Amino acid sequence: MIHHIPNVLTKEQVIEFRRLMEDANWVGGKVTAGTLSASVKQNQQLSEQDPLTHALSEIVIKAIWQNPLFQAAALPHKIIPPLFNRYDESESFGFHVDNSIRLIRGTSEQIRTDLSCTLFLSEPEEYQGGELVIEDTYGYHEVKLSAGDAVLYPSTSLHEVSSIQHGSRFASFFWVQSLVRDDSKRHLLFTLDESIRELRKTHGDAYSEVMKLTNIYHNLIRMWSEL
């Protein structure tokens, strides 16, 4: 399932990120690509060792962990520290699938990539092209969100960033290992959680059906989680 996560960063935070990133030291984006995806990747990234990467990454991590929609959709266990990229005119990243296992920066710890997340740092009108195109069983979905918004989608999906025709596209990207590996199970839990929240709004927390469904929700997480 593809989720739009609005307002992960405030507009003020985005402006500050962009101010710092405009004068940053960018390197070729192939440094984090696998052998196959490197052949279709043409963009720029902040180095993983750059102090700016670490500083901005901490802000994104704090914001995303505190986002209730992200928590409900991802059921996160571990998050790979965010990276940052830019696409200038004629740059793109052709269709590829993300690596299934990745190292957490600066450690020997590996995590399974269940979910991929892109946090947009450019407004849609700042660039032409540059859509994130995600393939699933229902076809191709073009994603181009407001700065500060994020899209969360299964890492099993083929996806691309289409060629930039004009302007520059800045973004942060990272991967999540979920407590629940299977996307269809996460979708069921998310839908159940949404229903519980709507019932709470309408009937209050003491409503007996809220308690019953909450019990089912947590028991399903116990059954399906991999802790």
Residue ranges at the known binding site: 96, 98, 159, 169
From the annotation, which residues make up the binding site for 2-oxoglutarate? Answer: 169
From the annotation, which residues make up the binding site for Fe cation? Answer: 96, 98, 159
**Closest by CA position to 18, among listed 148, 191, 209:** 148
Task: Name the token pair of 88.
Answer: 């200038």
Residue 77 per-residue DSSP state: E
Query: Letter for the amino acid at 89?
Result: E
Helices (H), the chain: 11-22, 35-38, 51-65, 68-74, 183-203, 208-224
CA–CA gap between residue 159 and residue 139 (Å, rounded): 11
Strands (E), 109-179: 110-112, 115-120, 127-129, 132-136, 139-143, 150-154, 159-161, 164-167, 169-178
Residue 163 per-residue DSSP state: P
